[in-house]
Chains A and B, each alone.
Chain A
Amino acid sequence: MFEQINHIALIGELMQQMCVYLVVAYLLSKTPLFAPLMQVTVRLPDKLVCYVVFSGFCIMGTYLGFNIEGAIANTRAIGAVLGGLLGGPVVGLAVGLTGGMHRYSLGGFSATACAVSTVTEGLIGGALHLFLMRRHQADRLLNPAIAFGTALVAEIAQMLIILLLAKPSDQAARLVAQITLPMVLTNSFGAALFMRLILDRRETLEKYSIAFSVKALRIAERSVGVLMQGFNAQNCSRLATIIQEETGVGAVAITDCDKLLGFVGIGADHHLTGTPISSPHTLSAIADNAVVYADGVSRPYRCKVHKDCRLGSCLVIPLRGEGNVVFGTIKLYEPKSKFFSTLNRTLGEGLARLLSNQVLAGKIEEQKRLLVQSEIKLLQAQIDPHFLFNALNTLAAVIRSNPDSARQLVQYLSTFFRKSLKRTGNDVTLADEVEHVNAYLSIELARFAERLQVKIDIPPELLGLQLPAFSLQPIVENAIKHGISQMLEPGCITIRAERSDGLLSVTVEDSAGLYQPQPDSDGLGMNLVNRRIKLRYGEAYGVQVTSERERFTRVAITLPLEAQALPC
């Protein structure tokens, strides 16, 4: 009867002891020290952390235990078993040795037996670790049921070792009879609960990062390209709306360095777009190029515009452009009644990077446009030296044989140069382009003589239509340079124009069929004409090449007839 009561009391007391033990474990789980324990550790530094932490628990288990007839009833086994399970046999052995030696140093008739058994417990955990790793079932190591079973086996082993090693034997037998049930139960439960704690901590972290990724991805998806069209009030308002909807914060604002460009959410009635920046937090974020967080408690936030403003905390993140220079800020607000979630704080900083990149990409687009424009200017100014010298050479010959034709040629040459050099406007009529091309081809006709034939088939009513200057000549020049001049037999160039479905298409066809796409050098001229038309009218238009080897190469320029408003 007396022994029965003693049993139950002992279980209760050991359970209490385990509670203290688990509270310590819980507190520890909030520290970074715990991170390496949340997975099966492989790296050496992680193993070291594992060893230190579980040795600590081992020793704590011994201290928290209490004396029974010169022995100690305790929860030391949890540390040794878990150390072995999570860290492997070496860590298990090390934890067992540390815990065992510590227990040995405290003395008592069961000191040796306890020391040996702690080492054994560590090794049992380690053995299971090895077994499951070999069978590629590492995730089962974190299973609380497995921890329970392992601790159970380890504790039973400890009892056997005490029976074998502790002297005097009758005292050992009595001790074992008293403590077996309480110790086996509490240690097994303890190990399982400890493992559960690790798993819970892991799941929380995962949930947090999943929520974060989902939000970040949705914002990125919805905001793609908004700021690329320019960092202005209209685009900033659109973007602020997207961010406010996705993050659920009280309000979102975007500013440049002087004024508010967009504001959405609580307080939108008095935070007006276009007003100068009033918040000292924003000004200091811009001045220091640093994130400013006013949580409303340790660092107060007070709206400078309206005294009844409900906003109570804010996060200001600078937007950085080229060379890390601040060009604006993004601000997230929460009302006084609401807490600023860490998730939204982290997200805010990522958002700032996303927006900065978008603005930068928009600037690059703009620069590309300018580059194409200047390339066109260059193209206009540049006359192919081959053409020039060949023309002069032809002229020299024709002067000798036929002075009248030579005079005519000089006329064509001067028309060609005048048209090439003195293009002022951006758009010209098709008639202008044809005149330019005609002057060019007249010279080539004299040069190639019977090897070249030219057909121009353009309905007179299309001659008044507008197209970008310098669109046709580079294409015709290519047809001569890479087509006709490479033919062994006589060739023909045909130029046609037609209008259908609001489109103007001009085709230049040569009978050589020697077109070979060359991404870079493929006639700077033709690429440029294509890029310019696409940039101005859209991807559906531009230059298209079809070719059949040794039969023909047909280059078609297509552009819409109505859209002629945008300057380029």
Chain B
Amino acid sequence: MLTALIIDDEAPSRDELRALLAAEPDVQVLGECANAIEGLAAIHRLRPQVVFLDIKMPRLSGLEMVSLIDPAAMPHIVFVTAFDEHALKAFEEHATDYLLKPIEPQRLARTLNWLRSGGRPVSTLPAITSTEQLRQIPCIGRSKIFLLSLAEVEYVHTDLAGTQVVSDQRQGLTELTLKTLQERTPLLRCHRQYLVNTDQIAEIALLDNGAAEILTRSGKRVPVSRRYLREMKDRLLIS
């Protein structure tokens, strides 16, 4: 049994692919997502074996999304695109599987056979293993999906629900781990559970027990543990 997830921003495309996959008895479609941000959450939640991924999607493209997937949850990726000369060239060069829209059933069958026989993961594509710096963090808020630009972010912390991204105005849950964010953004680790944007620091209050507390520009409080205080002082050139 192959478990699959469809991520495409166009409803007719999703319907068509779902109809084609319905003809295959050993493929189970776990769900559909209309954008990459929801898609990222769904991959982490549903852990599908294969993801049919559209490239051109609003704000966060399919290629960018793959680079944000937690490596432990990395499924087989099959890119689906109507027309994208540059991406196709890259796929050809790195022997990555892709389907062209409108999808030809025979071509889909070949891809499925390759997957059933345990096809290779797609970690060879440079765009996918990228450690490029992020400019925006994809978030899911209470009723809205959005991208928070890094300049806006005040701090990030983890709690039971996951990784929370906090700005002056908004707050959202992201699929990215603190570790990924620390590696791919200039956010600074100040606590086991917190990263802070140094540009948003208004003041740092030193506490009696050797720890500290940051007051952000909008007046939010962020804890600094003793362990990270020294490193932070170095970064901010405070002796």
Interfacial residues, chain A to chain B (CB-CB below 8 A): 385-386, 388-390, 392-398, 400-401, 446-451, 485-489
Closest Cβ–Cβ distance, residue A483 to chain B (whole Å)? 10
The answer on a CB contact under 8 Å between A489 and B144 is: yes
Per-residue 0/1 for B147-178: is the Cβ within 8 Å of any A Cβ (1 yes, 0 no)? 00000000000000000000000000000000
Known: A392-B102, A393-B102. Contact between A486 and B59, CB under 8 A?
yes
**Taking the complex as formed, is B10 at the interface, i.e. its CB lies under 8 A from any CB of chain A?**
yes
Beyond the given pairs A394-B13, A486-B59, 18 more chain A to chain B contacts, judged by CB atoms under 8 angstroms and listed by A's residue number, are: A386-B82, A389-B101, A392-B102, A393-B12, A393-B13, A393-B16, A395-B102, A397-B12, A397-B16, A401-B12, A447-B10, A447-B12, A448-B10, A449-B12, A451-B9, A485-B58, A488-B59, A488-B146
Interface size on B, residues (CB 8 A): 22
List, in ascending order, chain A residues with CB within 8 A of B58's CB. Answer: 485-488
Check A394 against B37 for contact (C-beta < 8 Å). Answer: no
Task: Give B132 Cβ to nearest chain A Cβ, in Å.
Answer: 20
Determine the chain B residues whose CB is within 8 A of the CB of A385 once the complex forms: 83
Cβ 8 A contact of B12, one of A389, A394, A485: A394
Bitwise, B110-138 to A at CB < 8 A (1) or not (0) is 00000000000000000000000000000
| 30 A-B pairs whose Cβ atoms sit less than 8 Å apart in the complex | A389-B100, A389-B101, A390-B10, A392-B102, A394-B13, A395-B102, A396-B102, A397-B15, A397-B16, A397-B19, A398-B12, A401-B12, A401-B15, A446-B12, A447-B10, A447-B12, A448-B11, A449-B10, A449-B11, A449-B12, A450-B11, A451-B11, A486-B58, A486-B59, A487-B58, A488-B35, A488-B58, A488-B144, A488-B146, A489-B145
B136 CB to closest chain A CB (Å) equals 12
- Which residues from chain A contact B83 at a C-beta distance below 8 Å? 385-386, 388-390
A489 to B100, CA, bound (A): 26
B82 cross-chain contacts in A, Cβ below 8 A:
386, 389-390, 393
Which residues of the other chain, B, contact A395 by a CB distance below 8 angstroms? 102
Q: Which residue numbers of B lie inside 8 Å of A, CB to CB?
A: 9-13, 15-16, 19, 35, 37, 56, 58-59, 82-83, 100-103, 144-146
Complex CA distance for A493 and B56, rounded to whole angstroms? 20
Alpha-carbon distance A276/B186, docked complex (angstroms): 78
Nearest-Cβ distance from residue A37 to partner chain B, whole angstroms: 63
Q: Which of B10, B19, B56, B103 has the most CB of A within 10 A?
A: B10
- Interchain CA distance A392-B16 in the complex, whole Å: 12
Closest 3 CB pairs of A and B: A397-B12, A397-B16, A389-B82
Chain A residue at minimal CB-CB distance from B8: A393
Closest chain B residue to A449, Cβ basis: B11
Residues of B within 8 A of A486 (CB): 58-59
Chain B residue, CB-CB nearest to A390: B82
Instruction: Tell me how far the C-beta of A532 lies from the nearest C-beta in chain B, rounded to whole angstroms.
Output: 27
| Distance, CA A310 to CA B178, complexed state (A) | 96
Q: A447-B12, A449-B11 are in contact. Are A390 and B59 (CB under 8 A)?
A: no
Given contacts A397-B13, A447-B12, A448-B10, is CB(A488)–CB(B145) below 8 Å? yes
B101 touches A488 (CB 8 A): no
A46 to B197, CA, bound (A): 67
Q: Which residues of A contact B101 (CB under 8 A)?
A: 389-390, 392-393, 396
Main secondary structure of the interface of B (DSSP, over half): loop
Given the complex, which residues of A lie within 8 Å of B146, measured CB to CB? 488
With a cutoff of 8 Å between Cβ atoms, the chain B residues found around residue A487 in the complex are: 58
Shortest beta-carbon distance, A419 to chain B, in Å?
A: 22
Assess the B37–A488 pair: CB atoms within 8 A. Answer: yes
| Shortest CB distance B89–A (Å) | 15
Whole-angstrom distance between the Cβ of B155 and the nearest chain A Cβ: 23
Do B16 and A396 touch (CB < 8 A)?
yes
User: Inside 8 A of B56's CB, which chain A residues have their CB?
Assistant: 386, 485
Chain A, residue nearest B138 (CB): A488
Nearest CB of chain A from residue B126's CB, rounded to whole Å: 23
Query: Which residues of chain A have C-beta atoms less than 8 A from B144's C-beta?
Result: 488-489
Across-interface contacts of A400 in B (CB, < 8 A): 15-16, 19
Q: How far is the CB of B211 from chain A (nearest CB, A)?
A: 39
| Cβ contacts under 8 Å, A446 to chain B | 12
Minimum CB distance partner of B11 in chain A: A449
Residues of B within 8 A of A393 (CB): 10, 12-13, 16, 82, 101-102
B-side contacts of A394, CB under 8 Å: 10, 12-13
CA distance A519 to B194 in the complex (A): 41
CB nearest neighbor in B for A395: B102
List chain B residues, Cβ under 8 A from A448. Answer: 10-11
C-alpha spacing A526/B177, complex, angstroms: 42
In the complex, which residue of chain B has the Cβ closest to the Cβ of A392? B102
Report the separation of the CA atoms of residues A400 and B11 in the bound assembly, to the nearest whole angstrom: 13
Q: How far, in whole Å, are A446 and B56 apart by their CA atoms in the complex?
A: 17
Shortest CB distance A10–B (Å)? 87
Name the A residues within 8 Å of B103 (CB-CB).
396
Return A316 CB to nearest CB of chain B, in Å: 59
B173 CB to nearest chain A CB (Å): 15
Roughly how many angstroms separate A95 CA and B91 CA in the complex, as a whole number?
Answer: 83
Output the residue of B37, B58, B100, B144 with the most chain A CB within 10 A.
B58
Expressed in whole angstroms, the Cα–Cα distance for A388 and B102 within the complex equals 11
Please, which residues of chain A bring their CB within 8 A of the CB of B102? 389, 392-393, 395-397
Residues of A within 8 A of B59 (CB): 486, 488
Question: How distant is the Cα of A361 from the Cα of B146 in the complex, in angstroms?
Answer: 51
> How many angstroms between the C-alpha atoms of A488 and B101 in the bound complex?
22
Q: For residue A447, which residues in chain B have a CB less than 8 angstroms away from its CB?
A: 10, 12
List of B residues within 8 angstroms of A398 by Cβ: 12
Complex: chain B residue closest to A394, CB-CB? B12
What is the CA–CA distance of A397 and B56 in the complex, to the nearest angstrom? 18
Cα A543 to Cα B83 in complex, Å, equals 29
* Residues on B with beta carbons closer than 8 Å to the beta carbon of A396: 16, 101-103
Q: Give the complex CA separation of A388 and B100 in angstroms.
A: 13
Which of A390, A448, A489 is most buried by chain B, counting CB atoms within 10 A of its CB? A390
Q: Which residues in A have their C-beta under 8 angstroms from that of B12?
A: 393-394, 397-398, 401, 446-447, 449
Closest to B100 in A: A389
Min C-beta distance of B186 to chain A, whole Å:
23
By beta carbon, the residue of chain B nearest A385 is B83
